[in-house]
Amino acid sequence: MDTIITQALQLLAAELREGLPIREPDYLKAMLRLKYGTKKIEYLGGILLDQQNKIIEEHIFERGIENRTVVYLKKIVQRLFKKHATGLILFHNHPSGTLEFSKQDLDLTKRLRDVLGELDIRLVDHVLVTCAGSLSACELRLL
């Protein structure tokens, strides 16, 4: 099974490597689900983008515990400035397997969207992944 997942990640990584634009959001959700959907602790990360939605990097901002992560918006903004990113796809996992955005998730999304908007940085999406699937705040019109 690990070999299949590794091969799938390699195929997705070829489509989602640094310097290329994100053309297929489903590939991104699949890659994030494979990488983080079965993790036992919560991860909060981001795909940093340039003006043309080309990937600058994937970065983990915080690692938490089984059911939460402490988020410091300052750390996110610092990383975006350091890499000259103009867009961000935020992502996190729910180790519990609960495939729905919590109130805290939605509050974070709105706070981050507002802060980044003041800095002319786009919050493109917030993707939630579990072992069972993935959700996009953008597709659910929550952004």
Its pTM stands at 0.85
68-110 pLDDT, tens digit per residue, is 778 899 999 999 999 999 999 999 999 999 999 999 999 999 9
Kindly tell me the number of DSSP H helices and DSSP E strands found in the chain.
4, 5
Contacts of 137 (CB under 8 A, 6+ apart): 101, 106, 109, 125, 126, 127, 128, 143
**In contact, 105 and 90? CB cutoff 8 Å:** no
Give the model confidence (pLDDT) of 16-41 as tens digits: 455 556 666 787 888 899 889 999 99
